[in-house]
Amino acid sequence: METVDDNALRTILLARIKEQGPLTFAEFMAACLYEPGLGYYTSSGRKGGAEGDFYTSSNVHRVFGRLIAREIIAMWHTLGEPAEFQIVEAGAAGGRLAADVMDAVAELAPKLYETVTCRLIEAEPSLAEAQRLMLAAHTAKLDWSSPAELSAGRLAITGCIYSNELIDALPVHLVEMTEDGLQEVLITAVGEEFCEQLGPPSTPEIPFFMERHAIAPVGGQRIEIRLAAEKWLLGAAESLQRGYLITIDYGHLAEELYGKMRINGTLLCYYRHQVEENPYIRAGHQDITSHVDFTSLISTGEDVGLKKIWYGEQYRFLMATGMMEELMALETRDIPEEQRLRDRLALKKLMLPDGGMGDTFKVLVQGKGVDAAGLLCLRNWAASF
Protein backbone atom coordinates (compact mmCIF):
# COMPACT_ATOMS: atom_id res chain seq x y z
CA MET A 1 0.00 0.00 0.00
CA GLU A 2 1.37 3.40 -1.02
CA THR A 3 1.65 5.84 1.85
CA VAL A 4 0.82 9.53 1.49
CA ASP A 5 1.30 12.45 3.85
CA ASP A 6 -2.12 12.92 5.44
CA ASN A 7 -0.78 14.23 8.74
CA ALA A 8 -2.38 17.68 8.46
CA LEU A 9 -5.98 16.48 8.15
CA ARG A 10 -5.39 13.42 10.33
CA THR A 11 -4.11 15.69 13.13
CA ILE A 12 -7.20 17.89 12.87
CA LEU A 13 -9.56 14.90 12.98
CA LEU A 14 -7.78 13.26 15.90
CA ALA A 15 -7.95 16.54 17.83
CA ARG A 16 -11.62 16.87 16.95
CA ILE A 17 -12.34 13.39 18.29
CA LYS A 18 -10.39 14.12 21.48
CA GLU A 19 -12.29 17.36 22.07
CA GLN A 20 -15.78 16.39 20.91
CA GLY A 21 -15.92 12.62 21.24
CA PRO A 22 -16.60 10.14 18.43
CA LEU A 23 -17.58 11.48 15.02
CA THR A 24 -20.35 10.13 12.88
CA PHE A 25 -19.11 8.65 9.63
CA ALA A 26 -20.91 11.51 7.86
CA GLU A 27 -18.81 14.02 9.79
CA PHE A 28 -15.64 12.05 9.10
CA MET A 29 -16.44 11.71 5.39
CA ALA A 30 -17.36 15.39 5.09
CA ALA A 31 -13.98 16.36 6.54
CA CYS A 32 -12.06 13.95 4.32
CA LEU A 33 -13.77 15.29 1.21
CA TYR A 34 -14.52 18.94 2.01
CA GLU A 35 -12.35 20.24 4.90
CA PRO A 36 -11.28 23.71 3.66
CA GLY A 37 -7.92 23.45 1.91
CA LEU A 38 -7.32 19.86 3.00
CA GLY A 39 -10.27 17.78 1.83
CA TYR A 40 -10.16 15.64 -1.27
CA TYR A 41 -12.44 17.97 -3.23
CA THR A 42 -11.27 21.23 -1.63
CA SER A 43 -7.54 20.87 -2.25
CA SER A 44 -5.55 21.30 -5.43
CA GLY A 45 -4.82 18.43 -7.78
CA ARG A 46 -6.54 16.59 -10.59
CA LYS A 47 -9.29 14.23 -9.40
CA GLY A 48 -10.74 12.75 -12.59
CA GLY A 49 -9.24 11.46 -15.82
CA ALA A 50 -6.07 9.53 -16.55
CA GLU A 51 -4.00 11.66 -14.16
CA GLY A 52 -6.54 11.47 -11.35
CA ASP A 53 -8.18 8.76 -9.31
CA PHE A 54 -11.27 7.87 -11.35
CA TYR A 55 -13.01 8.40 -14.68
CA THR A 56 -16.33 10.13 -15.11
CA SER A 57 -18.38 9.98 -18.30
CA SER A 58 -17.29 13.52 -19.18
CA ASN A 59 -13.65 12.37 -19.17
CA VAL A 60 -14.42 9.65 -21.68
CA HIS A 61 -15.66 11.66 -24.68
CA ARG A 62 -17.10 15.10 -25.46
CA VAL A 63 -20.18 13.45 -26.99
CA PHE A 64 -21.45 12.89 -23.46
CA GLY A 65 -21.79 16.66 -22.98
CA ARG A 66 -23.27 17.09 -26.45
CA LEU A 67 -26.05 14.63 -25.64
CA ILE A 68 -26.85 16.39 -22.37
CA ALA A 69 -26.96 19.62 -24.39
CA ARG A 70 -29.41 18.08 -26.85
CA GLU A 71 -31.79 17.32 -23.98
CA ILE A 72 -31.30 20.78 -22.46
CA ILE A 73 -32.19 22.37 -25.80
CA ALA A 74 -35.37 20.26 -25.86
CA MET A 75 -36.08 21.49 -22.33
CA TRP A 76 -35.75 25.09 -23.48
CA HIS A 77 -38.30 24.42 -26.21
CA THR A 78 -40.75 22.78 -23.76
CA LEU A 79 -40.53 25.85 -21.52
CA GLY A 80 -41.62 28.05 -24.42
CA GLU A 81 -38.13 29.34 -25.25
CA PRO A 82 -37.93 31.82 -22.35
CA ALA A 83 -35.80 34.92 -22.87
CA GLU A 84 -33.68 34.06 -19.83
CA PHE A 85 -32.55 30.47 -19.42
CA GLN A 86 -29.88 29.12 -17.07
CA ILE A 87 -27.80 25.98 -17.53
CA VAL A 88 -26.46 25.17 -14.07
CA GLU A 89 -23.86 22.51 -13.37
CA ALA A 90 -23.64 21.49 -9.72
CA GLY A 91 -20.21 20.02 -9.02
CA ALA A 92 -18.62 21.56 -12.10
CA ALA A 93 -15.02 20.52 -11.23
CA GLY A 94 -12.62 21.87 -13.87
CA GLY A 95 -15.38 22.74 -16.33
CA ARG A 96 -14.81 20.03 -18.93
CA LEU A 97 -18.43 18.88 -19.06
CA ALA A 98 -19.80 22.43 -19.00
CA ALA A 99 -17.54 23.35 -21.92
CA ASP A 100 -18.82 20.40 -23.97
CA VAL A 101 -22.42 21.33 -23.16
CA MET A 102 -21.92 25.00 -24.07
CA ASP A 103 -20.02 24.17 -27.27
CA ALA A 104 -22.97 22.04 -28.37
CA VAL A 105 -25.58 24.67 -27.42
CA ALA A 106 -23.68 27.31 -29.40
CA GLU A 107 -23.60 25.02 -32.44
CA LEU A 108 -27.05 23.44 -32.27
CA ALA A 109 -29.22 26.22 -30.79
CA PRO A 110 -27.84 29.70 -31.62
CA LYS A 111 -31.06 31.39 -30.47
CA LEU A 112 -30.80 29.79 -27.03
CA TYR A 113 -27.10 30.57 -26.87
CA GLU A 114 -27.79 34.29 -27.36
CA THR A 115 -29.51 34.62 -23.97
CA VAL A 116 -28.26 31.61 -21.96
CA THR A 117 -26.29 31.84 -18.72
CA CYS A 118 -23.97 29.00 -17.75
CA ARG A 119 -23.78 28.93 -13.95
CA LEU A 120 -21.00 26.87 -12.38
CA ILE A 121 -21.23 25.57 -8.83
CA GLU A 122 -18.19 23.94 -7.24
CA ALA A 123 -16.96 23.39 -3.67
CA GLU A 124 -13.31 24.17 -4.50
CA PRO A 125 -12.96 27.94 -5.17
CA SER A 126 -9.55 27.61 -6.84
CA LEU A 127 -11.15 25.69 -9.72
CA ALA A 128 -12.88 28.86 -10.92
CA GLU A 129 -9.74 29.87 -12.82
CA ALA A 130 -9.51 26.47 -14.48
CA GLN A 131 -13.18 26.80 -15.43
CA ARG A 132 -12.55 30.24 -16.95
CA LEU A 133 -9.79 28.81 -19.09
CA MET A 134 -11.78 25.73 -20.08
CA LEU A 135 -14.80 27.83 -21.04
CA ALA A 136 -12.85 30.77 -22.50
CA ALA A 137 -14.95 30.64 -25.68
CA HIS A 138 -18.06 31.33 -23.58
CA THR A 139 -16.72 33.95 -21.16
CA ALA A 140 -19.64 36.34 -21.63
CA LYS A 141 -22.09 33.58 -20.71
CA LEU A 142 -20.51 32.50 -17.41
CA ASP A 143 -21.53 33.09 -13.83
CA TRP A 144 -20.67 31.40 -10.55
CA SER A 145 -22.50 30.50 -7.35
CA SER A 146 -21.47 28.58 -4.24
CA PRO A 147 -22.87 25.19 -3.20
CA ALA A 148 -24.27 26.92 -0.11
CA GLU A 149 -26.32 29.31 -2.25
CA LEU A 150 -27.89 26.43 -4.18
CA SER A 151 -28.50 24.20 -1.16
CA ALA A 152 -30.03 27.11 0.77
CA GLY A 153 -32.43 27.78 -2.10
CA ARG A 154 -31.10 31.31 -2.64
CA LEU A 155 -30.87 31.11 -6.44
CA ALA A 156 -33.74 31.86 -8.82
CA ILE A 157 -33.33 29.50 -11.77
CA THR A 158 -35.42 29.03 -14.86
CA GLY A 159 -33.77 26.35 -16.92
CA CYS A 160 -31.88 23.17 -16.08
CA ILE A 161 -29.73 22.14 -13.13
CA TYR A 162 -27.63 19.06 -13.86
CA SER A 163 -25.02 17.08 -11.97
CA ASN A 164 -22.72 14.25 -12.94
CA GLU A 165 -21.38 12.15 -10.04
CA LEU A 166 -22.13 14.74 -7.39
CA ILE A 167 -24.64 12.98 -5.14
CA ASP A 168 -22.41 9.92 -4.60
CA ALA A 169 -19.82 12.21 -2.99
CA LEU A 170 -22.20 13.71 -0.42
CA PRO A 171 -21.54 12.40 3.11
CA VAL A 172 -23.37 9.33 4.41
CA HIS A 173 -24.23 8.00 7.84
CA LEU A 174 -23.26 4.35 8.29
CA VAL A 175 -25.74 2.22 10.22
CA GLU A 176 -25.81 -1.47 11.08
CA MET A 177 -28.67 -3.71 12.13
CA THR A 178 -27.55 -5.57 15.25
CA GLU A 179 -29.16 -7.89 17.80
CA ASP A 180 -29.80 -4.75 19.86
CA GLY A 181 -31.49 -2.97 16.98
CA LEU A 182 -30.26 -0.21 14.70
CA GLN A 183 -26.82 1.14 15.59
CA GLU A 184 -24.75 3.87 13.98
CA VAL A 185 -21.06 3.51 13.13
CA LEU A 186 -19.04 6.14 14.98
CA ILE A 187 -15.38 7.03 14.43
CA THR A 188 -13.03 7.23 17.37
CA ALA A 189 -9.28 6.75 17.72
CA VAL A 190 -6.75 4.51 19.40
CA GLY A 191 -3.45 6.35 19.46
CA GLU A 192 -2.99 7.79 15.97
CA GLU A 193 -5.32 5.33 14.26
CA PHE A 194 -8.99 5.76 13.50
CA CYS A 195 -11.34 2.97 14.56
CA GLU A 196 -15.04 2.25 14.67
CA GLN A 197 -17.53 1.77 17.47
CA LEU A 198 -21.29 1.34 17.44
CA GLY A 199 -23.77 3.57 19.21
CA PRO A 200 -27.39 4.73 19.03
CA PRO A 201 -28.32 6.78 15.93
CA SER A 202 -26.91 10.27 16.28
CA THR A 203 -30.10 11.91 15.02
CA PRO A 204 -33.75 10.85 14.84
CA GLU A 205 -33.61 11.79 11.15
CA ILE A 206 -31.91 8.45 10.43
CA PRO A 207 -34.69 6.10 11.64
CA PHE A 208 -37.27 8.56 10.30
CA PHE A 209 -35.63 8.44 6.85
CA MET A 210 -35.57 4.64 6.94
CA GLU A 211 -39.19 4.38 8.02
CA ARG A 212 -40.38 6.90 5.44
CA HIS A 213 -38.62 5.05 2.62
CA ALA A 214 -39.37 1.54 3.94
CA ILE A 215 -35.69 0.63 4.38
CA ALA A 216 -35.32 -2.51 6.51
CA PRO A 217 -31.82 -4.01 6.61
CA VAL A 218 -31.44 -7.62 7.70
CA GLY A 219 -29.51 -8.67 10.79
CA GLY A 220 -25.80 -7.92 10.47
CA GLN A 221 -26.30 -5.72 7.40
CA ARG A 222 -24.55 -2.37 7.11
CA ILE A 223 -26.02 0.35 4.88
CA GLU A 224 -25.43 4.01 4.04
CA ILE A 225 -28.04 6.69 4.76
CA ARG A 226 -27.40 9.90 2.79
CA LEU A 227 -29.39 12.57 4.61
CA ALA A 228 -27.28 15.18 2.81
CA ALA A 229 -28.76 14.17 -0.55
CA GLU A 230 -32.28 15.02 0.58
CA LYS A 231 -31.11 18.37 1.95
CA TRP A 232 -29.32 19.11 -1.31
CA LEU A 233 -32.42 18.21 -3.29
CA LEU A 234 -34.64 20.43 -1.15
CA GLY A 235 -32.34 23.39 -1.81
CA ALA A 236 -32.14 22.68 -5.52
CA ALA A 237 -35.93 22.39 -5.72
CA GLU A 238 -36.36 25.72 -3.95
CA SER A 239 -33.81 27.43 -6.23
CA LEU A 240 -35.47 26.00 -9.35
CA GLN A 241 -38.35 28.33 -10.14
CA ARG A 242 -39.33 26.47 -13.30
CA GLY A 243 -37.47 23.86 -15.26
CA TYR A 244 -35.62 20.60 -14.91
CA LEU A 245 -33.15 18.70 -12.77
CA ILE A 246 -30.92 16.01 -14.30
CA THR A 247 -29.05 13.73 -11.89
CA ILE A 248 -26.45 11.35 -13.35
CA ASP A 249 -24.74 8.98 -10.96
CA TYR A 250 -24.15 5.36 -10.11
CA GLY A 251 -26.75 3.82 -7.87
CA HIS A 252 -30.02 1.91 -7.69
CA LEU A 253 -33.61 2.07 -6.59
CA ALA A 254 -33.98 1.31 -2.88
CA GLU A 255 -35.19 -2.27 -3.29
CA GLU A 256 -31.93 -3.22 -4.98
CA LEU A 257 -29.62 -0.84 -3.13
CA TYR A 258 -30.63 -2.07 0.33
CA GLY A 259 -31.22 -5.70 -0.60
CA LYS A 260 -29.75 -8.37 1.64
CA MET A 261 -27.23 -9.27 -1.07
CA ARG A 262 -25.44 -6.02 -0.15
CA ILE A 263 -24.67 -7.11 3.40
CA ASN A 264 -21.70 -4.71 3.67
CA GLY A 265 -23.26 -1.75 1.88
CA THR A 266 -21.64 0.03 -1.06
CA LEU A 267 -19.00 2.27 0.53
CA LEU A 268 -15.77 2.38 -1.48
CA CYS A 269 -12.71 4.59 -1.93
CA TYR A 270 -10.72 5.38 -5.08
CA TYR A 271 -7.05 6.24 -5.32
CA ARG A 272 -5.19 6.36 -8.63
CA HIS A 273 -7.82 4.23 -10.35
CA GLN A 274 -7.58 1.54 -7.69
CA VAL A 275 -10.47 0.50 -5.47
CA GLU A 276 -9.77 0.76 -1.74
CA GLU A 277 -12.14 -0.50 0.95
CA ASN A 278 -10.49 1.26 3.90
CA PRO A 279 -11.75 4.86 4.31
CA TYR A 280 -9.50 5.50 7.31
CA ILE A 281 -6.25 5.86 5.39
CA ARG A 282 -4.98 8.68 3.13
CA ALA A 283 -7.29 11.21 4.83
CA GLY A 284 -8.02 13.90 2.27
CA HIS A 285 -6.12 12.10 -0.50
CA GLN A 286 -8.62 9.48 -1.68
CA ASP A 287 -12.19 9.68 -2.86
CA ILE A 288 -14.86 8.20 -0.57
CA THR A 289 -18.16 7.32 -2.19
CA SER A 290 -21.24 5.12 -2.04
CA HIS A 291 -24.07 4.32 -4.42
CA VAL A 292 -27.00 6.71 -4.76
CA ASP A 293 -30.49 5.89 -3.51
CA PHE A 294 -32.61 7.05 -6.44
CA THR A 295 -35.86 6.05 -4.76
CA SER A 296 -35.39 8.65 -2.03
CA LEU A 297 -34.53 11.32 -4.61
CA ILE A 298 -37.70 10.51 -6.55
CA SER A 299 -39.91 10.36 -3.45
CA THR A 300 -38.49 13.48 -1.81
CA GLY A 301 -38.66 15.30 -5.11
CA GLU A 302 -42.37 14.53 -5.45
CA ASP A 303 -42.91 15.98 -1.96
CA VAL A 304 -41.41 19.34 -2.97
CA GLY A 305 -42.86 19.74 -6.44
CA LEU A 306 -40.25 17.90 -8.52
CA LYS A 307 -42.12 15.48 -10.74
CA LYS A 308 -40.27 12.40 -11.91
CA ILE A 309 -40.16 12.54 -15.69
CA TRP A 310 -37.74 9.73 -16.51
CA TYR A 311 -35.40 7.32 -14.76
CA GLY A 312 -33.21 4.67 -16.35
CA GLU A 313 -29.78 3.46 -17.33
CA GLN A 314 -27.30 5.89 -18.84
CA TYR A 315 -27.10 4.00 -22.13
CA ARG A 316 -30.86 4.36 -22.62
CA PHE A 317 -30.66 8.09 -21.98
CA LEU A 318 -27.74 8.51 -24.39
CA MET A 319 -29.48 6.54 -27.12
CA ALA A 320 -32.68 8.54 -26.68
CA THR A 321 -30.89 11.89 -26.84
CA GLY A 322 -29.09 11.15 -30.09
CA MET A 323 -26.11 8.87 -29.67
CA MET A 324 -26.58 7.29 -33.08
CA GLU A 325 -26.70 10.69 -34.77
CA GLU A 326 -23.51 11.74 -32.99
CA LEU A 327 -21.82 8.47 -33.85
CA MET A 328 -22.70 8.84 -37.53
CA ALA A 329 -21.36 12.41 -37.51
CA LEU A 330 -18.09 11.23 -36.00
CA GLU A 331 -17.78 8.54 -38.65
CA THR A 332 -17.99 11.11 -41.45
CA ARG A 333 -15.15 13.26 -40.11
CA ASP A 334 -11.92 13.37 -42.08
CA ILE A 335 -9.64 12.07 -39.33
CA PRO A 336 -6.92 9.43 -39.04
CA GLU A 337 -8.22 5.89 -38.57
CA GLU A 338 -6.39 5.68 -35.23
CA GLN A 339 -8.45 8.60 -33.89
CA ARG A 340 -11.62 7.08 -35.31
CA LEU A 341 -10.87 3.87 -33.39
CA ARG A 342 -10.27 5.81 -30.17
CA ASP A 343 -13.64 7.54 -30.63
CA ARG A 344 -15.40 4.21 -31.12
CA LEU A 345 -13.82 2.70 -28.02
CA ALA A 346 -14.67 5.76 -25.92
CA LEU A 347 -18.31 5.71 -27.00
CA LYS A 348 -18.47 1.99 -26.36
CA LYS A 349 -17.26 2.63 -22.81
CA LEU A 350 -20.03 5.20 -22.29
CA MET A 351 -22.68 2.84 -23.60
CA LEU A 352 -21.58 -0.63 -22.57
CA PRO A 353 -24.18 -2.36 -20.37
CA ASP A 354 -23.59 -5.46 -18.22
CA GLY A 355 -21.40 -3.73 -15.65
CA GLY A 356 -19.98 -0.94 -17.81
CA MET A 357 -20.80 2.76 -17.55
CA GLY A 358 -23.92 2.18 -19.65
CA ASP A 359 -25.97 0.53 -16.91
CA THR A 360 -23.89 1.18 -13.79
CA PHE A 361 -24.80 4.85 -14.15
CA LYS A 362 -28.39 5.95 -13.97
CA VAL A 363 -30.11 9.15 -15.09
CA LEU A 364 -32.99 10.79 -13.24
CA VAL A 365 -34.88 13.65 -14.91
CA GLN A 366 -37.25 15.67 -12.72
CA GLY A 367 -39.30 18.75 -13.56
CA LYS A 368 -40.96 21.63 -11.76
CA GLY A 369 -43.83 23.59 -13.29
CA VAL A 370 -43.27 22.03 -16.71
CA ASP A 371 -44.98 20.11 -19.47
CA ALA A 372 -42.33 17.56 -20.33
CA ALA A 373 -43.83 16.45 -23.64
CA GLY A 374 -41.11 16.78 -26.24
CA LEU A 375 -38.15 15.73 -24.13
CA LEU A 376 -35.86 13.34 -25.95
CA CYS A 377 -35.65 10.91 -23.04
CA LEU A 378 -39.37 10.23 -23.42
CA ARG A 379 -39.02 8.53 -26.79
CA ASN A 380 -41.08 5.37 -26.29
CA TRP A 381 -38.34 2.76 -26.62
CA ALA A 382 -36.18 4.49 -24.01
CA ALA A 383 -38.72 4.26 -21.18
CA SER A 384 -37.59 1.97 -18.39
CA PHE A 385 -39.42 3.01 -15.22
- What residue segments make up the domains of the chain, in order of their start? 7-41+172-225, 57-170+227-259+285-382
pLDDT value at 348 more than 90: no
Q: Which fold has domain 57-170+227-259+285-382?
A: Rossmann fold (3.40.50)
Return mean pLDDT, the chain.
89
Closest CA to 258 of 203, 301, 216, 303: 216
Going by the DSSP 8-state scheme, the letter that residue 242 receives in this structure is E
What is the spatial distance between Cα 326 and Cα 272, in angstroms, rounded to a whole number? 31
The torsion angle over the Cα atoms of residues 124, 129, 135 and 136, rounded to 10 degrees, is: 170
d(CA 85, CA 111): 11
Q: Is the pLDDT score of 54 beyond 50?
A: no
φ, ψ at 44 (rounded to 5°): -70, 165
Q: What is the pLDDT of residue 272?
A: 77
Q: Which residues contact 347 (CB under 8 A, 6 or more apart)?
A: 61, 63, 323, 327, 330
Quote the percentage of the chain above a pLDDT of 70.
85
> Does residue 126 or residue 296 have the better pLDDT?
296
Q: What is the pLDDT of residues 72-95, one digit of tens each?
A: 999 999 999 999 999 999 999 999
Q: What is the pLDDT of residues 128-162, one digit of tens each?
A: 999 999 999 999 999 999 999 998 889 999 999 99
CA distance 366 to 305: 9
Per-residue pLDDT tens for 213-239?
999 999 999 999 999 999 999 999 999
Q: How far apart are CA 140 and CA 88, in angstroms?
A: 15
To the question of pTM greater than 0.85 for the whole model, the response is yes
pLDDT of residue 68: 96
DSSP secondary structure of 205-228 = HHHHHHHHTT--PPTT-EEEE-HH
Predicted local confidence at residue 347, as pLDDT: 61
Q: What is the pLDDT of residue 104?
A: 96
**pLDDT confidence tier of residue 275, bands split at 50, 70 and 90:** confident
